[in-house]
């Protein structure tokens, strides 16, 4: 069983109210999210009754028509049977777009994981004897319509 929610709040929409704000200007967008799941019944005793969740927030400041700054924080608890598997993630981003409401973006991001004492990789790969990476730089391109 898995469930989740996300809520996004535009500070410009709030401050311009009752006038409409269509995204054609600076904005501060705050997002909060949570996901939770549980293994209700399993033949594997390690997984049986296990619960897991993730909580987080992302704040994006769209300061220019072509540029935005963003920062994200996640707390991940992958195993209710061992709280020392829990870990934190931070991720600042630089976002480049062609215009305020364009449907494409290029993102340069950095991600840093702060692992718990028992954090480990999971199936299908056996990471029990290898150290997990704790940093990542990424350059990504996205387009939507």
Strands 2-10 and 135-143: unpaired
CA distances 63 to 8, 25, 40, 94, Å, are: 18, 8, 46, 11
- pLDDT number for residue 125: 66
- pLDDT number for residue 5: 97
Total-model pTM: 0.88
Output the tens digit of pLDDT for each of the chain's 145 residues.
899 999 999 999 999 999 999 999 999 999 999 999 999 988 888 888 899 999 999 999 999 999 999 999 999 999 999 999 999 999 999 999 999 999 999 999 999 999 999 888 876 666 666 788 899 999 999 999 8
- pLDDT number for residue 35: 97
Residues 83, 119: Cα–Cα separation, whole Å: 9
The number of helices, as runs of H, and strands, as runs of E, in the chain is 1, 7
Strands 27-38 and 104-114: unpaired
Strands 67-77 and 135-143: unpaired
- pLDDT number for residue 46: 80
Q: Look at residues 97, 66, 72, 63 and name the one whose alpha carbon lies nearest to residue 8.
A: 72
Strands 87-96 and 67-77: antiparallel
- pLDDT number for residue 132: 86
């Amino acid at each position: 069983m898995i469930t989740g929610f996300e809520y996004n709040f535009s500070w410009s929409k709030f401050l311009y109210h009752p006038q409409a704000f269509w995204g054609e200007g600076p904005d501060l967008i705050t997002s909060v999210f949570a996901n939770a799941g549980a293994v209700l019944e399993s033949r594997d005793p390690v997984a049986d009754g296990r619960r897991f969740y993730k909580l987080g927030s992302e704040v994006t400041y769209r300061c220019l028509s072509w540029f935005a700054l963003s920062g994200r924080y996640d707390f991940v608890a992958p195993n209710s049977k061992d709280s020392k598997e829990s870990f934190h993630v931070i991720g600042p981003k630089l976002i480049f777009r062609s215009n305020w409401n364009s449907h494409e973006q290029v993102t340069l991001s950095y991600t840093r994981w702060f692992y718990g004492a028992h954090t480990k990789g999971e199936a299908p790969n056996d990471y029990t004897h290898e150290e997990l990476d704790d940093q990542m730089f990424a350059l990504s391109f996205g387009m939507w319509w």
